[in-house]
Amino acid sequence: MKVAFDNGVSTYSGKYLEVVYQSWYDDRLCYARKNFYPTLGQQHQHMAEISQNLNKVYLAASPLYVQDFKAYAKENERQNLPKAKEKLHKMPSAKSLFISCMWQWHDSDPTHVDLTTVSIDDIVAMESPLMSVKSCVDAGFLKRVKNYLSYNHTIRAT
């Protein structure tokens, strides 16, 4: 279906009623399609369980640990933001960095790490690299930034 715009609108992106508009090639092409919601399967349910559990773990973490992740995220944005304009993108937040580290930990030992049931007690008992931001950097889960050694508060308040 071809889309025509009035009033000088060159491109439009988003959803309006039952039509989804998409902009491509630096706003030189815009097309529309009928909105379609996929049927949810077992994989979607599994990912939802993982997301809910990781959110629960992040919210239960020590406030100083979360503060360290936030400080790391700011420092990471300052030091590792791409310099080339075409590669420029929004840097990840503290929570997304934590979730990324959890997935990397799972990938390093999938037989023992189940993200649907992992808890802070499991992280401590298994001596995970997620004990602190410093240990995440040392394990290679996060990029090295200046003063990362000061981000050493543990996930559980002692």
- When computed from its CA atoms, the radius of gyration of the chain, rounded to whole angstroms, is 21
Q: Judge whether 155 lies within some domain.
A: no
Question: Is the pTM of the predicted complex or chain greater than 0.85?
Answer: no
Kindly report, residue by residue over 94-130, the tens digit of the pLDDT. Answer: 999 999 999 999 999 999 999 999 999 999 999 999 9
Kindly report, residue by residue over 29-64, the tens digit of the pLDDT. Answer: 777 788 788 888 999 999 999 999 999 999 999 999
pLDDT at 13 over 60: no
Q: Report whether 49 contacts 108 (CB < 8 A).
A: no
Domain of 13 in residue numbering reads as: 1-37
**7 and 65 fall within a common domain:** no
**9 and 60 fall within a common domain:** no
Q: Report whether 101 contacts 136 (CB < 8 A).
A: yes
More confident residue, 53 or 3: 53
Q: How far apart are CA 122 and CA 126, in angstroms?
A: 6
Tokens representing 112?
């023992």
Containing H/E element for 122?
helix 120-125
What letter does residue 112 receive in the DSSP assignment?
Answer: T
